């Protein structure tokens, strides 16, 4: 093993003429949804072959909320065990002080990426993380079933509800007992904040907290949107949706047991896999909206940050540069349908052919709605938790949307006091 | 002095007069010194691994500490526990842990979970222990086999049960539906009505063997001649159980219950892994963990941990007092 690595380093020196002073041992920590780890492993192998460094993957659970707690603990302890963190788009303001400023190191490539993504990772002038890929969810629908019942892909939530109900009931009567109309992420975690924000924002209910920090969530449009979602549970969605994250929803969908699914583009590549029962039977479209409002997909995406406590900062930055490069992003787009953060790649003919969702998603990404992580600063996680709790309680029917939103406003006001910190 | 001549043990008075006060104090002083000598390392370790973190947590609960920069923590008094905030427009609100409905909900969840699960485990544990106390072929094997749920790490069993209780792919729903008890699958861990019960079911499955083991140890201490006497007198077995067995194993049961209750009051992993962590199942530990590590509320989480410690301490003291438990050994 050691010999192999040394041989690679020699080969790299011969091939590139650069002499790696010494092969470093790096650690990258990453969550694991779908093929995340496999995806990372493949690309790290290339990096290792080119540089002679060795990179360990520290694997985390799928829930972003779980990952965050652990990352915060490691960073607070100032551990040097982790060099590179794969961080969610919403974390920048909360972890900014613990990461290296990448502005100078990346100066030559910053201009290649979406300015909005770069901006989302900039805190007080410091670029704390660099984009790996961006994300904006899609409405997955079963083309074959919609055609069978002569329906078109829905553009409003009303239409989605009706179509899902009709196909679900008729399919069940025809003997397909396991089928459900719609699956999404209803477990109380960060993903539900995304789902809830999409329902509310696409119904004219605003963004929970406005960009200038006002608490706007307690309004009639928001209550209507959440009541509508409550009606889905058990009517067109399985009761278990209250515990579903991305992968549970994909499980139901990919076994062919759902007419519609709300999920991120990673599910597109996996659902089209050769062993997938829904391979070739589905299409994607943008999320529905209420008439008069526009579709409001939640902006997601993952970035790479270098720990302030790393002992190999230069090598870590080289890895960030490698994983965010045009080449790596294209490879991820081709194999895993990851949305690039480099606008030019959306016109790439090879990507358009292999993963048609990406070319279609260029303007979805640009119009995606950010979660209120910027205005609520270090308190975002708690704001998000209060919101997902209110949404989850509404979905489960513990109280009405109106009551829950009133409580939510009260709690947010208590968090904010005289201003977000 | 007829007693002495008959060879009976000397009376207390006789003992006192026999011992020389000077000799006793020198001996006991020496014993005391060596006792402290042996105890000191353990006390030092305890102070270091238990006392110090506890004191630090209590200290942080009186500050505005944030996990991002613990050294910058400033003393703020009781603000994390209770505080009145005047909005300046004639309105104001009470804040702090004492006025936090989510905290009290977590306290109630924890107490409810502890009461229900420990009660069920005690009854089941007793039944299992009674069965295992009866000699039969293969008893050794069965005794080892019942320990399996206890031996599996909580994280693993919680994940295992989460799959078995899954609404779409779970074997539990499949079995109940095929024998006709259910007409449609239940989302055991997600529905507000069943989430807490799902946790209790898994906990009972997991820790009944532990209760059984402790109670079995108590049962083995009961001398067999008591039963033989009862048998000769023709006492009904049920009466023997309630009048003889139960009083004799009462101390064992009471100790087992407090072990389990202390464990149950600080439950975290089972709930965190098994359920989606909604309001129905959130316990004090989960509440504290969230505030400590996921939110920028390290001080508030420390306050919750401190209250958690006090609640457990209070319940333990009340229990020991009420059950007249003698933890000091002796009679």
Stretch (H or E) spanning A66: helix A64-76
CA-CA distance, A110 to A102, in Å (whole number)?
10
Determine the Cα–Cα distance for residues B30 and B34; give it in Å rounded to an integer.
Answer: 6
Chain A nearest-CA distance from B268, in A, is 14
Contact state of A382 with B190 under an 8 Å Cβ cutoff: no
pLDDT for position B7: 45
| Predicted confidence (pLDDT) at residue B214 exceeds the cutoff of 70 | yes
Q: Shortest CB distance from B85 goes to which of A69, A76, A417?
A: A417
Higher pLDDT, B92 or B305: B305
Mean pLDDT of B133-144: 90
- The answer for residues whose C-beta is within 8 angstroms of residue A236's C-beta and 6 or more apart is A161, A164, A165, A168, A180, A181, A182
The residues, any chain, with a CB within 8 Å of residue B255's CB and separated by 6 or more, are: B214, B325
Average pLDDT (B22-46) is 89
Map tokens 């409905």 to a residue.
B101
User: What is the reported pTM?
Assistant: 0.87
At A19 the pLDDT is 45
Chain B partners of A184 at a C-beta cutoff of 8 Å? none
Our measurement of the distance from residue B261's CA atom to the centroid of its chain's CA atoms, rounded to an integer in Å, reads 3
**Helix A313-324 × helix A326-336 angle, to 10°:** 50
Task: Measure B318 CA to nearest chain A CA, in Å.
Answer: 34
Q: Is the pLDDT of residue B325 over 90?
A: no
Residues 76-135 on A with a CB inside 8 Å of B are 76, 94, 97-98
pLDDT in tens, B95-109: 899 999 999 999 999
Is the CB of residue A187 less than 8 Å away from at least one CB of chain B? yes
Are A243 and B187 inside 8 Å of each other by CB? yes
Res A17: pLDDT: 45
Contact A69/B67, CB-based, under 8 Å? no
Residue B168 pLDDT level (bands cut at 50, 70, 90)? confident
Of the listed ranges A248-252, A328-332, B78-82, B318-322, the least confidently predicted one is B318-322
Model pLDDT, residue B330? 46
Residue linked to tokens 């259910």: B182
Q: Render the burial of B215-224: b for 16+ CB within 10 Å, e for the rest.
A: bbebbeebee
Residues of A (367-386) whose Cβ lies below 8 Å from B: 378-379, 381-382, 385
- What pLDDT, on a 0 to 100 scale, did the predictor assign at position B6? 45
Smallest Cα distance from A397 to chain B, Å = 9
A400 touches chain B (CB under 8 A): no
ipTM: 0.84
Check CB contact under 8 Å for B277 and A188. yes
The pLDDT averaged over each successive group of 10 residues in chain A (421 residues) is 51 48 88 92 95 95 88 92 96 93 96 93 95 96 97 97 97 94 96 97 96 96 97 93 94 96 96 95 96 95 96 96 96 95 95 94 91 93 95 94 96 88 85
Q: Identify the pLDDT of residue B324.
A: 78
DSSP label of B137: T
Instruction: State whether A94 and B296 contact (CB < 8 Å).
Output: yes
Residue B1 has pLDDT above 80, yes or no: no
**A240 and B190: CB-CB below 8 Å?**
yes
């Amino acid at each position: 093993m050691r010999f192999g690595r040394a041989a690679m380093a020699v080969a790299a020196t011969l091939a590139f003429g650069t002499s790696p002073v010494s092969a470093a041992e790096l650690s990258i920590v990453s969550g694991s949804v779908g093929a995340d780890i496999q995806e990372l492993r493949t690309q790290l192998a290339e990096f290792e072959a080119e540089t002679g460094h060795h990179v360990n993957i520290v694997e985390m659970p799928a829930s972003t909320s779980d990952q965050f707690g652990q990352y915060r603990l490691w960073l607070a302890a100032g551990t040097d065990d982790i060099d590179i963190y794969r961080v969610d788009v919403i974390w920048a303001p909360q972890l900014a002080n613990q990461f290296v400023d990448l502005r100078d190191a990346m100066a030559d490539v910053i201009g290649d990426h979406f300015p909005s993504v770069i901006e989302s990772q900039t805190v007080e002038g410091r670029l704390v993380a660099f984009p790996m890929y961006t994300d904006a969810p899609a409405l997955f629908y079963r083309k074959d079933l919609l055609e069978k019942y002569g329906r078109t892909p829905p553009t409003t939530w009303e239409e989605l509800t009706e179509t899902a109900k009709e196909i679900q009931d008729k399919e069940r009567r025809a003997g397909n007992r396991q089928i459900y109309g719609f699956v999404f992420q209803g477990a109380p975690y960060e993903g539900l904040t995304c789902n809830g924000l999409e329902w509310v924002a696409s119904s004219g209910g605003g963004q929970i907290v406005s960009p200038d920090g006002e608490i706007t969530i307690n309004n009639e449009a928001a209550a209507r949107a959440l009541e509508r979602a409550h009606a889905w549970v058990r009517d067109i969605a399985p009761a278990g949706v209250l515990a579903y994250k991305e992968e549970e929803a994909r499980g139901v969908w990919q076994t062919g047991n759902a007419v519609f699914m709300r999920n991120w583009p990673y599910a597109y590549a996996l659902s089209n896999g050769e062993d997938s029962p829904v391979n070739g039977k589905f299409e994607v479209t943008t999320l529905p909206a209420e008439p008069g409002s526009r579709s409001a997909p939640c902006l997601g995406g993952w970035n790479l940050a270098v720990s302030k406590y790393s002992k190999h900062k230069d090598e870590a930055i080289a890895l960030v540069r490698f994983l965010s490069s045009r080449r790596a992003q294209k490879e991820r787009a081709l194999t895993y349908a990851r949305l690039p953060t480099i606008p030019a790649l959306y016109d790439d003919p090879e990507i358009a052919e292999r993963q048609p969702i990406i070319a279609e998603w260029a303007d979805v990404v640009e119009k995606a709605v950010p979660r209120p992580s910027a205005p609520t600063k270090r308190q975002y996680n708690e704001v998000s938790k209060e919101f997902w709790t209110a949404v989850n309680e509404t979905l489960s029917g513990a109280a009405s949307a109106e009551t829950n939103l009133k409580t939510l406003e009260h709690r947010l006001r208590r968090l904010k006091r005289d201003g977000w910190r | 002095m007829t007693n002495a001549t008959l060879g009976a043990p000397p009376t207390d008075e006789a003992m006192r007069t026999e011992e020389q006060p000077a000799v006793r104090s020198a001996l006991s002083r020496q014993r005391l010194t060596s006792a402290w000598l042996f105890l000191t390392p353990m006390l030092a370790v305890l102070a270091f691994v238990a006392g110090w973190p506890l004191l630090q947590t209590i200290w942080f609960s009186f500050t505005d500490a944030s996990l991002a920069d613990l050294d910058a923590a400033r003393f703020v008094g009781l603000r994390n526990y209770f505080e009145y905030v005047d909005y300046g427009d004639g309105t104001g609100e009470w804040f702090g842990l004492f006025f936090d409905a989510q905290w009290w909900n977590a306290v109630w969840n924890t107490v409810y979970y502890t009461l229900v699960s420990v009660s069920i485990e005690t009854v089941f544990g007793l039944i299992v222990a009674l069965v295992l106390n009866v000699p039969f072929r293969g008893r050794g094997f069965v005794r080892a086999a019942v320990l399996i749920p206890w031996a599996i790490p909580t994280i693993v069993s919680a994940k295992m049960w989460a799959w078995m209780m899954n609404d779409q792919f779970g074997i539990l729903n499949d079995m109940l539906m095929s024998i006709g008890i259910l007409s449609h699958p239940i989302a055991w861990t997600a529905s507000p009505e069943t989430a807490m019960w799902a946790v209790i079911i898994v906990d009972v499955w997991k820790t009944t063997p532990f209760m059984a083991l402790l109670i079995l140890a108590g049962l083995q201490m009961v001398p067999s001649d008591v039963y033989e006497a009862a048998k000769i007198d023709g006492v009904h077995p049920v009466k023997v159980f309630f009048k003889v067995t139960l009083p004799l194993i009462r101390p064992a049961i009471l100790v087992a219950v407090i072990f389990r209750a202390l464990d149950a009051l600080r439950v975290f992993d089972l709930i965190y892994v098994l359920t989606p962590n909604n309001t129905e199942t959130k316990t004090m530990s989960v509440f504290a963990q969230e505030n400590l590590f996921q939110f920028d509320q390290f001080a508030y989480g420390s306050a919750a941990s401190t209250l958690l410690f006090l609640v457990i301490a209070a319940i333990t003291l009340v229990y020991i007092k009420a059950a007249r438990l003698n933890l000091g050994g002796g009679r």
